[in-house]
Amino acid sequence: MNELRKQRVLVVDDDPRIIRFIRASLMAHGYDVLTATNGEEALEVVKMNTPDIMLLDIRLPVKDGFEVLQELRTFSSMPVIAFSANSSVSKQALSLGANDFISKPFTPDEMITRTRAILNRTKKQ
């Protein structure tokens, strides 16, 4: 990876307030942030911009997070942190290829810590 380029994070959520909240936290920690508001858009952004990691809400319009994970794993091993207010979906998200799961509500620090940990692990591989 080119160390001069900021690590690129794709945030996928249909709630603009959550996107703003996560985006501001990530940008404050030096990440380049891309956003999508539905599953179809998320997959297009991945194909066009090759983010380093995706933060993916499970409940989305057009294609939900489960569908995004299934399709994403057919062409990419990019790390994904799934999140949802419904923590009972964590096992399904992880079984479909998510690298981590966070229950809403979460703190910006928790999201940053987990994002950094996964990016550090994948960079070393």
- Closest alpha carbon to 37 in 61, 66, 17, 55: 61
pTM for the full predicted model: 0.93
For the domain covering 8-119, report its CATH number: 3.40.50.2300
Q: And the tokens for 48? A: 């066009």
- Please count the CA atoms within 13 angstroms of the CA of 111 that sit on its side-chain side: 29
Per the CB < 8 A criterion, the answer to whether 37 and 14 are in contact is yes
Q: Is the pLDDT of residue 125 over 80?
A: no
Q: Is the pLDDT of residue 3 over 80?
A: no
pLDDT value, residue 2:
46
Residue spans of alpha helices (H) in the chain: 16-28, 39-49, 65-72, 90-95, 108-124
The model's pLDDT over 45-84, given as tens digits with 9 standing for 90+, comes to 999 999 999 999 999 999 999 999 999 999 999 999 999 9
- Closest alpha carbon to 53 in 100, 90, 3, 92: 100
Q: Is the pLDDT of residue 27 over 90?
A: yes
Say how many residues make up the chain. 125
Average pLDDT over residues 109-119: 95
